[in-house]
Structure 1
Amino acid sequence: MKRTLLHLILFISLYALPYQHINAQVDQQNLRKSQLDFVNLGFGMFIHYGMPTFMDQDWSDPNAPLSLFNSPKLDADQWAEAAKSAHMTYGCLTTKHHSGFPIWDTHTTTYNVMNTPLGRDVVKEFTDAFRKKGLKVMLYYSILDTHQEIRPHSITRKHIQMIKDQLTELLSNYGEISALVIDGWDAPWSRISYDEVPFDDIYYHIKSLQPNCLVMDLNSAKYPGDALFYSDIKSYEQGAGQFISKENNKLPAMACLPLQQNWFWKKSFPETPVKDVHKLVNEFIIPYNNAYCNFMLNVAPNADGLMDPNAIAALKEIGTLYAKGPGYKELPAYYQPIITHNIAKNVYSNSSWSDDMNIMDFANDDNFGTSWIANTAATGNPWYELDFDRSAYFNTIVITEGKDAPADYTIAYYHDGKWLAVEGEIKNQGRIKICRFNTVIGQKLRLHIQPKNGRAILSEVGVYHERN
């Protein structure tokens, strides 16, 4: 009997440990420190280098012949020295862009740099060179991969496993990675949703490998700048028209822009002037640093694997104008990132009388550019309701109001035939209100709204079951 009991205890222990690991929460105190450290880094080098370098394109042919890829003079030490001359503090390299060509020694596909005439692990050479100069190391990785057909309506379990396997290699074989910049995910042009490739699975996979590695998803075009949605750092790709508010930003942020005309090298670059360095420093880098925003300047190596002389000269000049990043002791108060699946997206919704075409389903259509608007001719306070069809667990509600439409809310959920009050404080963060509470289970959710400016406007109502 004792031996049987002992075996049972050992069995439970062995199988419970992986479960606990999978469900481990992100340490919010360590996350805040990493976010602060990132902001204080101030200024770094983005490096777009890959198959597009050899095709005069920013997106290469996903089946481009491996024979094209050859940089006989490739010198990552030159890249690091150039970054150091500009008083940059880190580098971030594109390990795989949207056309799906990995530039590291990967076992996940034969379509990689090791099978090209170059035959060298560029990620290793980059990480070694930058660390040798005392610079931090970050990596860029694209979820969209047209070579492997990781694209809308084509994604399989094997694709998701490949993504995890590739990230495991990058976060296991190259030392400490301060941040992972992810692209090609939940963007209008990639059309791969956080449900098709589950964000929370990938996010917690990254954190299980390197708990202090920041996850930055280049998704700012979609989400409001008042809260962190699916990203540890609010990221702005300025080349895509995404600009941070230097006056109002209160989130840890990153903005990126190329020094040259494009992200990847073009044959015209050596003879084409780079961006004005005085403008870059005085209108972007320093003002952004003063708005809790780290600035990442892209410099594209040429087909030889070297940075062009005009880019090297520009970086040295930047170094005479920019000394060091900000020295924040702490960042403004903000809420931890929203990570998990939004169970409110496109479920059946109902409401009090709407204003013309601005009906209820505009508030849970996963589009922050549309809104449900209450009709001011209606009597009584407006209300808004979500019906999940079947009971669901949740512990977080995020309300994104329309501009200049603040309101107070009481929230109730429907459970076993009764409406019960949500016991959680609603906290404001700009036009976003976040309510976190102990996990409940309910079939419906209802907001009772008391508008402050005469009209209730809901851009989005999100409901989540967060791990933290």
Structure 2
Amino acid sequence: MKKNQIISVLAAWLLLVTGMVQAQQNKSLHQLQQQFVDLRFGMFIHFNIPTFMDDDWADPEASPAIFNPKKLDCHQWAAAAKSANMSYGCLTTKHHSGFAIWNTKTTPYNVMNSPLKRDVVKEYTQAFRAQGLKVMLYYSILDTHHKIRPGQITKADIEMIKAQLTELLTNYGDITALVIDGWDAPWSRISYDDVPFEEIYGLIKRLQPNCLVMDLNAAKYPAEALFYTDIKSYEQGAGQHISTDNNKLPALSCLPINTAWFWKADFPTTPVKDADKLVNDNIVPFNKAWCNFILNVAPNRDGLIDNNALAALKKIGQQWKNAGAVSALPAYAAPIISSNMAKFQAANSSWSTDMNIMDFANDDNFRTTWQSNRSVKQPWFEVELNKAQGFNMVTIVEDKARIKKYRLEYNENGVWKPLPSESDDAGRVKIHRFPRVWGNKVRILIDEFSETPAIAEFGVFNEQR
């Protein structure tokens, strides 16, 4: 064999081995979700420019000069998490007012232009890993300083988001999960079309295939399926509570140990939440329901956790030990990450009640419904897609599980054709995935129901597979 041939063979062998190693290292989404819930308990760390103000939502024009934690010690945070038998941390790299606490090249509105002039994200990741703790990062899409808000978003804004996420997922080692906020929530009003979810999701997975993407969107989306997130999230302070009896999805529940997310002047002298209740009302029951509990502990303006919080964390660690893996996650449908092509499109239906007409079934609001008139024996609903286009998924979200038998059809060149009617779920959320078809209309024909049918949202998607 000639020298060039030998080199070619070795190169091919090296590529094969590298590919095999990469395939072994990149876990399936279900494995990653199982590992996440197995972590059981972690520390949320709200520390950013709001720490130095009286409001959790900071003035978007606040000067970087106020960010001056003179005793910042991320090792103290990590030791405190370890004392509570936590297994990870999650730091607010950028909150809603847009101040970045890492050494970013995307904006001058960052920690390197503050009196601290230190990369807090770097110090946090190093400190937590030194204690054997996993590292997660929080990032807000809503950014009032850079005017990334409803009606203002440009292509340049989307590129800045991508650049910031690229920095965070390139320069700080393995990130177990990225917790995203301020995106398609009723209060942020930035849709997954304004900032395209599938593009951002794909970028994150290309940069770090094992990084879970978690959008804090439970205020809008139903609890029975993974809409635009790898992990369901529940913010207790916002009235979002997981059903420990019915949950079947990998989940996270969050709560601050204090009265707010970011540090306030009364925190050192105000009692924190009771350690017994945090263990017995949160960690223990949530873990049994495949839900990880994350407790927010806010460092003060010196960059240290207050003594009363430290004492509570130590007490938690004395009462609760991490027993390792929870029970195996049940089977469930893969996350929905594509844009809903049916949203706000023209709809039609059989006779409906006057206050619940067909337009409510695709208005991007899961709290409104199209409801059939009780006199109709075989109700139907259809949505027009404006033009013939490809799609490979249909979702049906009822207000309650009432529909027993139904058929799905699509219209191609004026002819109605059947779609597979097998669903990944038999509850009120029904997800249908099938080989891509082309059509300009999609409809549901309801053959049997226990009560008058009511559809909250009917979705049509073209997933990238």
What's the TM-score bracket when you normalise by the shorter of the two chains?
over 0.9
Deviating beyond 4 angstroms after TM superposition, the runs of 4 or more aligned structure 1 residues are: none
The 10-residue stretch of structure 1 (415-424 or 39-48) with the greater mean CA deviation from structure 2: 415-424
Q: Determine the C-alpha separation between the residues in 2 that align with 1:337 and 1:41.
A: 21
Equivalent residue letter for 1:187: A
**Residue of structure 2 in register with 1:313 after alignment:** 311
- State the Cα distance separating 1:409 from its structure 2 match: 1.5
**Residue of structure 2 in register with 1:224 after alignment:** 222
Q: Secondary structure at the match of 2:391?
A: strand
- State the Cα distance separating 1:417 from its structure 2 match: 2.1
Alignment counterpart, residue 160 of structure 2, candidates 150, 159, 162: 162
**Residue of structure 1 in register with 2:389 after alignment:** 392
Q: Deviations for 1:143-165, whole angstroms, at most 9, x for unmatched residues?
A: 00000000000000000000000
Q: Deviations for 1:48-96, whole angstroms, at most 9, x for unmatched residues?
A: 0010011122011111111111111100000000000000000000000
**Residue of structure 1 in register with 2:213 after alignment:** 215
- State the Cα distance separating 1:452 from its structure 2 match: 2.4
- State the Cα distance separating 1:329 from its structure 2 match: 5.0
Q: Secondary structure at the match of 2:425?
A: strand
- State the Cα distance separating 1:423 from its structure 2 match: 3.2
Residues 447 and 154 (structure 1 numbering): CA distance in 2 closer, same or farther, change over 3 Å? Answer: same
**Residue of structure 2 in register with 1:289 after alignment:** 287
Equivalent residue letter for 2:206: S
Alignment counterpart, residue 262 of structure 1, candidates 257, 260, 263: 260
**Residue of structure 2 in register with 1:441 after alignment:** 438
**Residue of structure 2 in register with 1:413 after alignment:** 410
Q: Determine the C-alpha separation between the residues in 2 that align with 1:325 and 1:169.
A: 35
Alignment check: 8 A CA contact 2:26 2:209 kept: no
**Residue of structure 2 in register with 1:463 after alignment:** 460
Alignment check: 8 A CA contact 2:26 2:210 kept: no
Q: Determine the C-alpha separation between the residues in 2 that align with 1:362 and 1:326.
A: 45
Residues 175 and 426 (structure 1 numbering): CA distance in 2 closer, same or farther, change over 3 Å? Answer: same
Alignment check: 8 A CA contact 2:178 2:211 kept: yes
**Unmatched runs of 5 consecutive residues or more in structure 1:** 1-26
* Matching of residue 358 in structure 1 with residue 356 in structure 2: yes
Q: Determine the C-alpha separation between the residues in 2 that align with 1:256 and 1:197.
A: 25
- State the Cα distance separating 1:29 from its structure 2 match: 6.3
Q: Determine the C-alpha separation between the residues in 1 that align with 2:100 and 2:448.
A: 52
Alignment check: 8 A CA contact 2:150 2:188 kept: yes
Residues 418 and 29 (structure 1 numbering): CA distance in 2 closer, same or farther, change over 3 Å? Answer: farther
Q: Secondary structure at the match of 1:211?
A: coil
**Residue of structure 2 in register with 1:96 after alignment:** 94
**Cα RMSD (Å):** 1.3
Q: Secondary structure at the match of 1:448?
A: strand
Aligned pairs for 1:140-219 within 5 A: 140-219=138-217
**Residue of structure 2 in register with 1:78 after alignment:** 76
Alignment counterpart, residue 126 of structure 1, candidates 121, 124, 127: 124
Residues 401 and 325 (structure 1 numbering): CA distance in 2 closer, same or farther, change over 3 Å? Answer: farther
* Matching of residue 137 in structure 1 with residue 144 in structure 2: no
- State the Cα distance separating 1:428 from its structure 2 match: 1.9
Equivalent residue letter for 1:218: L
- State the Cα distance separating 1:424 from its structure 2 match: 5.2
Q: TM-score, normalised by structure 2?
A: 0.93
Residues 274 and 454 (structure 1 numbering): CA distance in 2 closer, same or farther, change over 3 Å? Answer: closer
- State the Cα distance separating 1:238 from its structure 2 match: 1.0
Q: Determine the C-alpha separation between the residues in 1 that align with 2:307 and 2:141.
A: 33
Q: Determine the C-alpha separation between the residues in 2 that align with 1:326 and 1:375.
A: 52
Q: Determine the C-alpha separation between the residues in 2 that align with 1:304 and 1:355.
A: 60
Q: Deviations for 1:101-122, whole angstroms, at most 9, x for unmatched residues?
A: 0000000001100011000000
Q: Determine the C-alpha separation between the residues in 2 that align with 1:301 and 1:395.
A: 47
Q: Deviations for 1:419-462, whole angstroms, at most 9, x for unmatched residues?
A: 11113522325311111100011000111102321422111111
Alignment check: 8 A CA contact 1:290 1:326 kept: no
Q: Determine the C-alpha separation between the residues in 1 that align with 2:78 and 2:55.
A: 24
Q: Secondary structure at the match of 1:414?
A: strand
Alignment check: 8 A CA contact 1:424 1:436 kept: no
Q: Secondary structure at the match of 1:428?
A: coil
Q: Secondary structure at the match of 1:141?
A: strand
Q: Determine the C-alpha separation between the residues in 1 that align with 2:136 and 2:27.
A: 21
Q: Determine the C-alpha separation between the residues in 2 that align with 1:80 and 1:90.
A: 9
Q: TM-score, normalised by structure 1?
A: 0.92
Q: Determine the C-alpha separation between the residues in 2 that align with 1:461 and 1:124.
A: 44
Q: Determine the C-alpha separation between the residues in 1 that align with 2:231 and 2:423.
A: 23
Equivalent residue letter for 2:447: Q
**Unmatched runs of 5 consecutive residues or more in structure 2:** 1-24
Alignment check: 8 A CA contact 1:214 1:232 kept: yes
Q: Secondary structure at the match of 1:35?
A: helix
Alignment counterpart, residue 278 of structure 2, candidates 276, 280, 287: 280
Alignment check: 8 A CA contact 2:356 2:369 kept: yes
* Matching of residue 107 in structure 1 with residue 105 in structure 2: yes
Q: Secondary structure at the match of 1:169?
A: helix
Alignment check: 8 A CA contact 1:407 1:456 kept: no
Q: How many residues align?
A: 441
Equivalent residue letter for 1:384: F
